[in-house]
Amino acid sequence: MTSKKKSLLREASHQIIAGGSAGLVEICLMHPLDVVKTRFQIQRGKSDPNSYKGLGDCFRTIFRTEGVYGFYKGILPPILAETPKRAVKFFTFEQYKKLLSFTSLSPGMALSVAGLGSGLTEALVVNPFEVVKVSLQANRDSFKVQPSTFAQARNIINTDGFGLRGLNKGLTSTLGRHGVFNMIYFGFYFNVKDAIPASQDPRLEFMRKFAIGLVSGTVSSCVNIPFDVAKSRIQGPQPVPGEIKYRSCFQSMALVYREEGYLALYKGLIPKIMRLGPGGAVMLLVYEYMSGWLQKNW
């Protein structure tokens, strides 16, 4: 193998390992907030008998009726998906960024377009895991009596197959969610990080990167949440069993807006920001520091 091929393989390995590590750390820290976010997004207004009164009520109710493990429902699909998902996210971002350097796009715009490409690619990988995760998170039974991750996946496949009504249900809304998020997330982080001078003090430099990552995760979450709500409605339980109400991304958004109002498209925003604000910062920092460590030691 030539030295150039070895160098490219080593670079790709660094990006994949660092990206996978970033995803694993983030999901283990932040999954309980993802469960809370999903519960808010699938409830259908005050008429829903299972409606939560607020964020505190949701946490208390889950803890009281489902136990502490209720906050970790559906964690296995993202753990199984998170390493390849984040590896795909960061690896494809780096590759798209490299390809776009040969175009006439400005460096700042190229970062956002590379983020969009990485988000769309990531969505294709992660959507089947999201379908299983949301169906488990929507289950309000005790953690001990709910079906396992693999049993739930088999049930979805046996009932609806692998297609857009089964294991790839809600694909368009997942593409929108990840595409929009990554476009803003990477574009904002790297453009702002380059604009703000680095500090020689390691602690201040860590705080600088964390603060920029926190803002980038928060802004991205605020912009892409209507896609997230549509995804949860499509992939979660339908209001009438056996009758499909939420069919596609924009049809679901329009239906939620018409029946529940504009603010319903932002359901679950607070737990989403609580998760993906600091979670977004954690991912970028773990990725950067792990990449640096791998470059020095491997």
Nearest to 212 by CA among 110, 285, 275, 116: 285
Please tell me the predicted confidence (pLDDT) of residue 43. 80
* 287 touches 22 (CB < 8 A): yes
SS3 readout for the chain: CCHHHHHHHHHHHHHHHHHHHHHHHHHHHHHHHHHHHHHHHHCCCCCCCCCCCCHHHHHHHHHHHHCHHHHHCCCHHHHHHHHHHHHHHHHHHHHHHHHHCCCCCCHHHHHHHHHHHHHHHHHHHHHHHHHHHHHHHCCCCCCCCCCCHHHHHHHHHHHHCCCCCCCCCCHHHHHHHHHHHHHHHHHHHHHHHHHCCCCCCHHHHHHHHHHHHHHHHHHHHHHHHHHHHHHHHHHCCCCCCCCCCCCCHHHHHHHHHHHHCHHHHHCCHHHHHHHHHHHHHHHHHHHHHHHHHHHHHC
Range of the domain at 271: 1-297
Would you place residue 51 in the very low, low, confident or very high pLDDT band (cuts 50, 70, 90)?
A: confident
State the angle between helix axes of 171-195 and 249-260 in degrees (0 to 180), rounded to the nearest 10.
90
Write out the two tokens for 191: 């453009």
pTM, to two decimals: 0.82
Whole-angstrom Cα distance, residue 261 to residue 81?
A: 34
Which pLDDT does position 190 carry in this prediction? 95
Q: Average of pLDDT values for 36-45? A: 81
Q: Above 90 in pLDDT, residue 145?
A: no
CATH number of the domain enclosing 205:
1.50.40.10
Q: Please, which pLDDT band fits residue 76 given cuts at 50, 70 and 90?
A: confident
Which single residue is written with the structure tokens 């379908």?
A: 131
- Do 266 and 272 form a contact (C-beta atoms < 8 A)? no
Look up tokens 């939620």; give the residue: 256
Give CA–CA dist 286/89, Å, rounded: 14
Q: Which pLDDT band holds residue 1 (cuts at 50, 70, 90)?
A: low
Tokens found for residue 196: 């703000």
Instruction: Compute, in degrees rounded to 10, the torsion defined by CA atoms 276, 220, 134, 138.
Output: 70
CA atoms within 13 A on the CB side of 132: 25
Look-up of token digits 């699938």: 42
Q: What is the pLDDT of residue 260?
A: 94
**What is the end-to-end Cα distance of the chain in Å, rounded?**
18
pLDDT-wise least confident of 35-39, 115-119, 183-187, 213-217: 35-39
Q: Which two tokens stand for residue 157?
A: 């496949």
**Would the pLDDT of 45 be above 80?**
no
Question: pLDDT per residue over 81-138, tens digit each?
Answer: 777 878 889 999 999 999 999 999 999 999 999 999 999 999 998 899 889 988 888 8
**For the chain, what is the domain count?**
1
